[in-house]
Chains A and B, each alone.
Chain A
């Protein structure tokens, strides 16, 4: 397939009860905890999209995120996604009508895959992202339902196949699902995009999980956003070139000003990658 769209650079903000956590260290901010003001900063800096990850613990307080989405739509004029804690069709409708361009489903999709089908039918595939938190299964091979039909090596094979397991509830609960199979499944249900986070690499700054990203992006036809592990410029290039990621997400790297969106874009452009500058 011909690559025609630019690769997207996406900062992610963790929001708790309407406030940004993991402090953002930009200068000249009126309120470093205000998600809307930070979204506007990233828009000015040339981010292609933004992800808000709602980490509010109590379900009752989740309405606050709808308000954040609404205020963002009033101030910021580029695409943004809201994820975290979305459970029902009503939650999705509320966020989209508040002005979010996409919602990202994680735990809800695993617990009730039909919500992916229903939501993509109702609101369009383009606004339904499935977030997958994946962790490498160490040592032994990972048993997957129906695996014998996939033509994989037998369990006695000398070379263990790399496998990743899907976790939910903010990475606390293993599901027994194979990440690549799960990505295929949600594609068949109508999801429009995968936000793929490597739990092994997240926070390490040692680079994205290339093998994971490649395994998922080559198994499906929809865009994959690589997440978890970005620490330097080379990591962005690597996951785009070697794993065919359509977009790259990073959080603290941008928030702490270690790299700017523009630096990443210029680096990618200088290495022959098409970006919006």
Chain B
């Protein structure tokens, strides 16, 4: 079962419907127990980093997500759900994140219009299973003002240029996370959701 974590940060229906569209049922939940029992977790989200961390802590959802991350269950972070994995963010002061990935969340440079909003290209740095069938230079839909700067460059999956070349997706073991919005990136975005669904079900033990 794929679950989408509802921690009060933005509309999650598009993500849920996206999974449905490619043939995978996904459940929106704010119950830590449901997350613990799931076979794959999606952490979406838009909004302020500090609010998001506050909500994750207060609800106990953060702990449940951390447990999932430490197991080998497939995890997909989207936008803020990518940034929250990191050590800390510079958004509105310095705030601690979930700390699963070492590195910082930084503000996009001032030479470009912020938020970075629109279709932009990815440059593939590695061949992650989540990007199967997606070619180098493909366009995805972005809406964000901050970007992640991982310490370990080996986890960088794609980069994107906007004022600077930033990390637009990462892959570490069972953890996949993207800065863009697959649920708003048309056909190729749905392909990513489909790849993730495939991993969740491939990962399940055969009954």
Chain A residues closer than 8 Å to B117, beta-carbon distance? 5, 126, 192, 223
Q: How far is the CB of A190 from chain B (nearest CB, A)?
A: 12
Q: How far is B73's CA from A195's CA once the two chains are assembled, in angstroms?
A: 44
- A6-B120, A8-B119, A77-B183 known; 19 new pairs, CB 8 Å cut-off, are A1-B111, A1-B112, A1-B113, A4-B120, A6-B119, A8-B118, A70-B13, A73-B14, A74-B13, A77-B14, A77-B189, A78-B185, A78-B186, A99-B11, A101-B143, A101-B184, A192-B115, A222-B113, A276-B139
Q: How far is B145's CA from A125's CA once the two chains are assembled, in angstroms?
A: 11
Q: How far is B186's CA from A99's CA once the two chains are assembled, in angstroms?
A: 15
Q: How far is B110's CA from A221's CA once the two chains are assembled, in angstroms?
A: 12
Chain A residues closer than 8 Å to B133, beta-carbon distance? none
Contact B184 A79 (CB under 8 A): yes
Q: How many residues of B contact A (CB 8 A)?
A: 30
Q: How far is B143's CA from A124's CA once the two chains are assembled, in angstroms?
A: 11
Q: How far is the CB of A118 from chain B (nearest CB, A)?
A: 16
Secondary structure call for the A interface: loop
Contact B113 A77 (CB under 8 A): no
Q: How far is B47's CA from A78's CA once the two chains are assembled, in angstroms?
A: 19
Q: Which of B18, B113, B120, B162 contacts A223 (CB 8 A)?
A: B113
Total of A-B residue pairs, C-beta within 8 Å:
74
User: Can you offer 14 A-B residue contacts whose CB atoms are under 8 A?
Assistant: A2-B163, A4-B120, A48-B119, A73-B14, A74-B17, A77-B14, A77-B17, A77-B183, A77-B184, A101-B143, A101-B184, A124-B47, A126-B115, A223-B113
List CB contacts (< 8 Å) of B38-92 with chain A. 46-47
Q: How far is the CB of A142 from chain B (nearest CB, A)?
A: 29
Interface residue ranges, B against A (CB under 8 Å): 11, 13-14, 17-18, 20-21, 46-47, 111-113, 115-120, 139, 141, 143, 161-163, 183-186, 189-190
Chain B residues closer than 8 Å to A126, beta-carbon distance? 115, 117, 143
| A248 at interface, CB cutoff 8 A | no
Contact A4 B162 (CB under 8 A): yes
Chain A residues closer than 8 Å to B141, beta-carbon distance? 78-79
Chain A residues closer than 8 Å to B143, beta-carbon distance? 101, 126
| A169 at interface, CB cutoff 8 A | no
Q: How far is the CB of B181 from chain A (nearest CB, A)?
A: 8
Chain B residues closer than 8 Å to A1, beta-carbon distance? 111-113
Q: How far is the CB of A85 from chain B (nearest CB, A)?
A: 21
Top 6 closest A-B pairs, CB basis? A5-B118, A276-B139, A276-B119, A74-B17, A78-B186, A126-B115
Q: How far is B10's CA from A96's CA once the two chains are assembled, in angstroms?
A: 9
- Shortest Cβ distance from B144 into A: residue: A126
Chain B residues closer than 8 Å to A79, beta-carbon distance? 141, 184
Contact B161 A77 (CB under 8 A): no
Contact B14 A4 (CB under 8 A): no
Q: How far is B141's CA from A43's CA once the two chains are assembled, in angstroms?
A: 13
Chain B residues closer than 8 Å to A125, beta-carbon distance? 115
Q: Which of A4, A6, A74, A96 contacts B11 (CB 8 A)?
A: A96
Chain A residues closer than 8 Å to B13, beta-carbon distance? 70, 73-74, 99
Q: How far is B6's CA from A97's CA once the two chains are assembled, in angstroms?
A: 13
Q: How far is the CB of B150 from chain A (nearest CB, A)?
A: 22
Q: How far is the CB of A81 from chain B (nearest CB, A)?
A: 12
Q: How far is B117's CA from A126's CA once the two chains are assembled, in angstroms?
A: 7
Contact B18 A77 (CB under 8 A): yes
- Given known pairs A124-B47, A221-B113, the reply for A77 and B190 (CB within 8 Å) is yes
Chain B residues closer than 8 Å to A75, beta-carbon distance? 17, 21
Q: Mark A209-234, 1 if CB is under 8 A from B, else 0.
A: 00000000000011100000000000
Q: How far is the CB of B47 from chain A (nearest CB, A)?
A: 7
Q: How far is the CB of A130 from chain B (nearest CB, A)?
A: 15
List CB contacts (< 8 Å) of A1-25 with chain B. 1-2, 4-6, 8
Contact B163 A5 (CB under 8 A): no
Q: How far is B46's CA from A268's CA once the two chains are assembled, in angstroms?
A: 32
Chain B residues closer than 8 Å to A221, beta-carbon distance? 113
Q: How far is B98's CA from A84's CA once the two chains are assembled, in angstroms?
A: 41
Chain B residues closer than 8 Å to A74, beta-carbon distance? 13, 17, 20
Q: How far is B12's CA from A97's CA once the two chains are assembled, in angstroms?
A: 9
- Given known pairs A4-B120, A5-B118, the reply for A78 and B184 (CB within 8 Å) is yes
Q: How far is B165's CA from A228's CA once the two chains are assembled, in angstroms?
A: 36
- Given known pairs A77-B190, A79-B141, the reply for A6 and B118 (CB within 8 Å) is yes
Q: How far is B118's CA from A8's CA once the two chains are assembled, in angstroms?
A: 8
